[in-house]
Amino acid sequence: MSTFADKHILITGGASGIGLQMAKHIARKKATTLSLWDINKDALEGARGELNGFQTSIQTRIVDIGNAEQIYSAAKDLIKNIGSVDILINNAGIVVGGPFEQQSREQIDQGIRINLLGAMHVCRAFLPDMKQRQSGHIVNIASAAGLMPNPNMSVYAGSKWGMIGWSESLRIELERKSTGINVTTVQPSYIKTGMFEGVKPPLLTPFLEKDDIADRIIQAVEANKIHLRAPFMVKLIPFLKGILPQKAFDFIAGKLFQVYQSMDTFKGRKSTQ
Protein backbone atom coordinates (compact mmCIF):
# COMPACT_ATOMS: atom_id res chain seq x y z
CA MET A 1 0.00 0.00 0.00
CA SER A 2 1.29 3.47 -0.91
CA THR A 3 0.59 6.36 1.40
CA PHE A 4 0.65 10.13 0.87
CA ALA A 5 1.19 11.08 4.51
CA ASP A 6 4.67 12.43 5.24
CA LYS A 7 5.70 12.02 1.58
CA HIS A 8 7.03 14.33 -1.13
CA ILE A 9 4.69 14.51 -4.13
CA LEU A 10 5.13 16.06 -7.58
CA ILE A 11 2.24 16.74 -9.95
CA THR A 12 2.90 18.04 -13.46
CA GLY A 13 0.12 20.16 -14.91
CA GLY A 14 -0.85 20.67 -11.29
CA ALA A 15 -2.26 24.20 -11.44
CA SER A 16 -5.73 23.37 -12.77
CA GLY A 17 -8.15 20.61 -13.70
CA ILE A 18 -7.64 17.19 -12.18
CA GLY A 19 -4.04 18.13 -11.34
CA LEU A 20 -5.24 20.76 -8.87
CA GLN A 21 -8.05 18.52 -7.69
CA MET A 22 -5.58 15.73 -6.91
CA ALA A 23 -3.39 18.26 -5.12
CA LYS A 24 -6.29 19.15 -2.80
CA HIS A 25 -6.94 15.49 -2.00
CA ILE A 26 -3.25 14.88 -1.33
CA ALA A 27 -2.91 17.96 0.88
CA ARG A 28 -5.76 16.66 3.03
CA LYS A 29 -3.75 13.47 3.52
CA LYS A 30 -0.95 15.48 5.14
CA ALA A 31 1.82 15.06 2.60
CA THR A 32 5.04 16.75 3.71
CA THR A 33 5.68 18.55 0.43
CA LEU A 34 3.48 19.00 -2.62
CA SER A 35 5.25 20.35 -5.71
CA LEU A 36 3.21 21.63 -8.64
CA TRP A 37 4.73 22.17 -12.08
CA ASP A 38 2.80 24.05 -14.74
CA ILE A 39 3.44 26.44 -17.61
CA ASN A 40 0.73 28.86 -16.48
CA LYS A 41 2.09 31.36 -13.94
CA ASP A 42 -1.29 32.85 -13.00
CA ALA A 43 -2.82 29.39 -12.52
CA LEU A 44 0.09 28.36 -10.30
CA GLU A 45 -0.42 31.42 -8.10
CA GLY A 46 -4.13 30.65 -7.90
CA ALA A 47 -3.43 27.03 -7.00
CA ARG A 48 -1.03 28.07 -4.25
CA GLY A 49 -3.76 30.31 -2.83
CA GLU A 50 -6.27 27.46 -2.82
CA LEU A 51 -3.82 25.13 -1.05
CA ASN A 52 -2.49 27.56 1.55
CA GLY A 53 -4.94 26.41 4.21
CA PHE A 54 -3.38 22.95 4.47
CA GLN A 55 -0.43 21.88 6.60
CA THR A 56 1.41 20.51 3.56
CA SER A 57 4.28 22.64 2.25
CA ILE A 58 3.39 23.86 -1.26
CA GLN A 59 6.07 24.47 -3.89
CA THR A 60 5.29 25.76 -7.37
CA ARG A 61 7.47 26.19 -10.43
CA ILE A 62 6.88 27.27 -14.02
CA VAL A 63 8.01 24.33 -16.14
CA ASP A 64 7.29 23.69 -19.80
CA ILE A 65 6.86 19.90 -19.92
CA GLY A 66 7.54 20.09 -23.65
CA ASN A 67 11.08 21.31 -22.92
CA ALA A 68 13.44 18.55 -21.73
CA GLU A 69 16.11 20.99 -20.54
CA GLN A 70 13.62 22.73 -18.25
CA ILE A 71 12.48 19.37 -16.89
CA TYR A 72 15.95 18.16 -15.91
CA SER A 73 16.92 21.54 -14.46
CA ALA A 74 13.75 21.73 -12.36
CA ALA A 75 14.15 18.11 -11.24
CA LYS A 76 17.74 18.71 -10.12
CA ASP A 77 16.65 21.71 -8.06
CA LEU A 78 13.70 19.85 -6.56
CA ILE A 79 15.79 16.88 -5.44
CA LYS A 80 18.34 19.31 -3.97
CA ASN A 81 15.65 21.18 -2.05
CA ILE A 82 13.48 18.35 -0.70
CA GLY A 83 15.78 15.34 -1.02
CA SER A 84 13.49 13.03 -2.99
CA VAL A 85 10.16 12.60 -4.76
CA ASP A 86 8.15 9.70 -3.35
CA ILE A 87 5.16 9.89 -5.69
CA LEU A 88 5.37 11.34 -9.20
CA ILE A 89 2.13 12.10 -11.05
CA ASN A 90 2.60 12.71 -14.78
CA ASN A 91 -0.58 14.68 -15.45
CA ALA A 92 0.39 17.47 -17.88
CA GLY A 93 -1.26 17.25 -21.29
CA ILE A 94 -2.84 19.11 -24.17
CA VAL A 95 -5.52 18.31 -26.75
CA VAL A 96 -5.76 19.62 -30.30
CA GLY A 97 -8.86 18.45 -32.13
CA GLY A 98 -9.67 18.22 -35.82
CA PRO A 99 -8.72 16.11 -38.84
CA PHE A 100 -5.09 15.00 -38.88
CA GLU A 101 -4.26 16.70 -42.17
CA GLN A 102 -5.28 20.02 -40.65
CA GLN A 103 -2.80 19.72 -37.79
CA SER A 104 0.26 21.92 -38.22
CA ARG A 105 3.75 20.54 -37.76
CA GLU A 106 4.02 22.59 -34.58
CA GLN A 107 0.77 21.16 -33.17
CA ILE A 108 1.85 17.59 -33.90
CA ASP A 109 5.28 18.08 -32.35
CA GLN A 110 3.88 19.89 -29.31
CA GLY A 111 1.27 17.19 -28.67
CA ILE A 112 3.86 14.43 -28.66
CA ARG A 113 6.44 16.45 -26.71
CA ILE A 114 4.06 17.31 -23.87
CA ASN A 115 1.81 14.25 -23.69
CA LEU A 116 4.44 11.55 -24.22
CA LEU A 117 8.05 12.70 -24.29
CA GLY A 118 7.50 15.10 -21.40
CA ALA A 119 6.20 12.32 -19.16
CA MET A 120 9.15 10.12 -20.14
CA HIS A 121 11.70 12.83 -19.34
CA VAL A 122 10.07 13.73 -16.02
CA CYS A 123 10.13 10.08 -15.02
CA ARG A 124 13.72 9.64 -16.22
CA ALA A 125 14.81 12.64 -14.15
CA PHE A 126 13.55 11.14 -10.88
CA LEU A 127 13.91 7.41 -11.50
CA PRO A 128 17.59 7.04 -10.48
CA ASP A 129 16.86 8.54 -7.06
CA MET A 130 13.83 6.29 -6.60
CA LYS A 131 15.85 3.22 -7.56
CA GLN A 132 18.61 4.16 -5.16
CA ARG A 133 16.05 4.39 -2.33
CA GLN A 134 14.20 1.28 -3.60
CA SER A 135 10.95 3.12 -3.13
CA GLY A 136 8.56 5.27 -5.14
CA HIS A 137 5.33 5.39 -7.10
CA ILE A 138 4.93 6.67 -10.66
CA VAL A 139 1.43 7.61 -11.84
CA ASN A 140 0.93 8.17 -15.57
CA ILE A 141 -2.33 9.85 -16.59
CA ALA A 142 -3.03 8.37 -20.00
CA SER A 143 -6.52 8.17 -21.52
CA ALA A 144 -9.20 5.86 -22.84
CA ALA A 145 -8.10 7.36 -26.18
CA GLY A 146 -4.98 5.23 -25.75
CA LEU A 147 -7.09 2.07 -25.91
CA MET A 148 -9.03 2.64 -29.11
CA PRO A 149 -9.15 4.82 -32.22
CA ASN A 150 -11.00 8.13 -32.18
CA PRO A 151 -11.28 10.39 -35.24
CA ASN A 152 -10.44 14.08 -34.87
CA MET A 153 -8.02 13.46 -32.01
CA SER A 154 -5.44 11.32 -33.78
CA VAL A 155 -2.34 13.07 -32.40
CA TYR A 156 -3.71 13.00 -28.84
CA ALA A 157 -4.72 9.35 -29.22
CA GLY A 158 -1.31 8.50 -30.65
CA SER A 159 0.44 10.15 -27.71
CA LYS A 160 -1.73 8.28 -25.21
CA TRP A 161 -1.30 4.92 -26.98
CA GLY A 162 2.41 5.60 -26.67
CA MET A 163 2.11 6.53 -23.00
CA ILE A 164 0.28 3.31 -22.16
CA GLY A 165 2.86 1.17 -23.97
CA TRP A 166 5.73 2.97 -22.28
CA SER A 167 4.10 2.98 -18.84
CA GLU A 168 3.32 -0.74 -18.97
CA SER A 169 6.81 -1.60 -20.20
CA LEU A 170 8.37 0.54 -17.48
CA ARG A 171 6.25 -1.20 -14.84
CA ILE A 172 7.45 -4.63 -15.91
CA GLU A 173 11.09 -3.49 -16.05
CA LEU A 174 10.86 -2.19 -12.50
CA GLU A 175 9.05 -5.30 -11.25
CA ARG A 176 11.60 -7.67 -12.82
CA LYS A 177 14.42 -5.86 -11.04
CA SER A 178 12.58 -5.78 -7.69
CA THR A 179 13.09 -2.01 -7.39
CA GLY A 180 10.25 -1.41 -4.94
CA ILE A 181 8.79 1.18 -7.35
CA ASN A 182 5.12 0.94 -8.33
CA VAL A 183 3.58 2.19 -11.59
CA THR A 184 -0.10 3.04 -12.03
CA THR A 185 -1.49 3.81 -15.50
CA VAL A 186 -4.72 5.84 -15.51
CA GLN A 187 -7.03 5.60 -18.53
CA PRO A 188 -10.10 7.81 -18.08
CA SER A 189 -12.68 8.84 -20.63
CA TYR A 190 -13.65 12.50 -21.11
CA ILE A 191 -13.28 14.63 -17.97
CA LYS A 192 -15.30 17.78 -17.34
CA THR A 193 -12.41 20.26 -17.03
CA GLY A 194 -12.83 22.50 -20.09
CA MET A 195 -10.07 20.62 -21.88
CA PHE A 196 -12.74 18.73 -23.84
CA GLU A 197 -15.22 21.59 -24.24
CA GLY A 198 -17.74 20.86 -27.00
CA VAL A 199 -17.30 17.08 -26.91
CA LYS A 200 -20.44 14.93 -27.02
CA PRO A 201 -19.80 11.99 -24.66
CA PRO A 202 -20.50 8.52 -26.09
CA LEU A 203 -23.56 6.53 -25.08
CA LEU A 204 -23.31 5.19 -21.50
CA THR A 205 -20.02 7.05 -21.02
CA PRO A 206 -20.84 10.36 -19.32
CA PHE A 207 -18.32 13.09 -18.56
CA LEU A 208 -16.26 12.27 -15.48
CA GLU A 209 -16.42 14.88 -12.73
CA LYS A 210 -12.89 16.05 -11.91
CA ASP A 211 -13.32 15.64 -8.15
CA ASP A 212 -14.58 12.08 -8.60
CA ILE A 213 -11.78 10.94 -10.92
CA ALA A 214 -9.17 12.69 -8.76
CA ASP A 215 -10.45 10.76 -5.75
CA ARG A 216 -10.37 7.49 -7.72
CA ILE A 217 -6.78 8.13 -8.79
CA ILE A 218 -5.70 8.78 -5.19
CA GLN A 219 -7.40 5.56 -4.07
CA ALA A 220 -5.78 3.61 -6.92
CA VAL A 221 -2.33 4.84 -5.87
CA GLU A 222 -2.98 3.93 -2.24
CA ALA A 223 -4.01 0.43 -3.33
CA ASN A 224 -1.00 0.10 -5.70
CA LYS A 225 -3.32 -0.64 -8.63
CA ILE A 226 -1.70 -1.30 -11.99
CA HIS A 227 -4.59 0.22 -13.98
CA LEU A 228 -7.41 2.62 -13.35
CA ARG A 229 -10.00 2.70 -16.13
CA ALA A 230 -13.12 4.84 -15.77
CA PRO A 231 -16.04 4.96 -16.18
CA PHE A 232 -17.18 1.34 -16.35
CA MET A 233 -17.53 1.19 -20.16
CA VAL A 234 -13.81 1.93 -20.55
CA LYS A 235 -13.04 -1.30 -18.69
CA LEU A 236 -14.79 -3.24 -21.47
CA ILE A 237 -12.67 -1.85 -24.32
CA PRO A 238 -9.73 -4.32 -24.10
CA PHE A 239 -12.15 -7.25 -23.82
CA LEU A 240 -14.29 -6.17 -26.77
CA LYS A 241 -11.27 -5.47 -28.94
CA GLY A 242 -9.92 -8.89 -28.07
CA ILE A 243 -12.99 -10.89 -29.06
CA LEU A 244 -14.46 -8.86 -31.92
CA PRO A 245 -13.26 -8.48 -35.52
CA GLN A 246 -12.13 -4.89 -36.10
CA LYS A 247 -15.10 -4.03 -38.35
CA ALA A 248 -17.52 -5.34 -35.73
CA PHE A 249 -15.80 -3.29 -33.05
CA ASP A 250 -15.93 -0.21 -35.30
CA PHE A 251 -19.66 -0.73 -35.81
CA ILE A 252 -20.35 -1.01 -32.09
CA ALA A 253 -18.06 1.88 -31.09
CA GLY A 254 -18.92 4.13 -34.03
CA LYS A 255 -22.54 3.42 -34.89
CA LEU A 256 -24.06 2.20 -31.63
CA PHE A 257 -22.14 4.11 -28.98
CA GLN A 258 -21.19 7.12 -31.18
CA VAL A 259 -17.59 7.17 -29.91
CA TYR A 260 -16.23 8.07 -33.33
CA GLN A 261 -18.52 11.12 -33.52
CA SER A 262 -17.71 12.43 -30.04
CA MET A 263 -15.01 14.88 -31.21
CA ASP A 264 -16.97 16.27 -34.15
CA THR A 265 -18.16 19.28 -32.11
CA PHE A 266 -14.94 19.71 -30.09
CA LYS A 267 -13.94 23.26 -29.12
CA GLY A 268 -11.55 22.74 -26.21
CA ARG A 269 -9.29 25.42 -24.85
CA LYS A 270 -6.29 26.81 -26.65
CA SER A 271 -3.44 25.65 -24.43
CA THR A 272 -2.93 23.92 -21.11
CA GLN A 273 -0.49 21.67 -19.38
Task: Tell whether the model's pLDDT for residue 140 goes beyond 60.
Answer: yes
pLDDT tens for 10-19 read 999 999 999 9
* Residue 272: predicted pLDDT: 46
* Residue 2: predicted pLDDT: 84
156 in catalytic set: yes
* Cβ neighbours around 160 below 10 Å, total: 24
Go through the chain and tell me how many residues it has: 273
Task: Tell whether the model's pLDDT for residue 57 goes beyond 90.
Answer: yes
Our measurement of the distance from residue 167's CA atom to the centroid of its chain's CA atoms, rounded to an integer in Å, reads 11
Residue 152's SS3 state is coil
Candidates 72, 156, 190, 260; catalytic one: 156
Average pLDDT over residues 187-216: 95
Yes or no: say if 107 and 27 are a contact pair by the CB < 8 Å rule: no
pLDDT tens for 32-45 read 999 999 999 999 99
Yes or no: say if 96 and 262 are a contact pair by the CB < 8 Å rule: no
Task: Tell whether the model's pLDDT for residue 273 goes beyond 70.
Answer: no
Q: What is the pTM of this model?
A: 0.96
Average pLDDT over residues 19-31: 97
* Residue 194: predicted pLDDT: 87
Average pLDDT over residues 181-202: 96
**Rounded distance between C-alpha atoms, residue 212 and residue 203, angstroms:** 20
Task: Tell whether the model's pLDDT for residue 270 goes beyond 90.
Answer: no
- What is the DSSP code (8-state) at residue 40? -
Q: In which band, very low, low, confident or very high, does the pLDDT at 179 lie, cut at 50, 70 and 90?
A: very high
Residues 6+ apart with CB under 8 A from 11: 19, 22, 23, 26, 34, 35, 36, 37, 89, 91
pLDDT tens for 228-258 read 999 999 999 999 999 999 999 999 999 999 9
* Residue 20: predicted pLDDT: 98
Please give the class, per CATH, of domain 8-261.
alpha beta
The domain spans of the chain are 8-261
**Rounded distance between C-alpha atoms, residue 159 and residue 43, angstroms:** 25
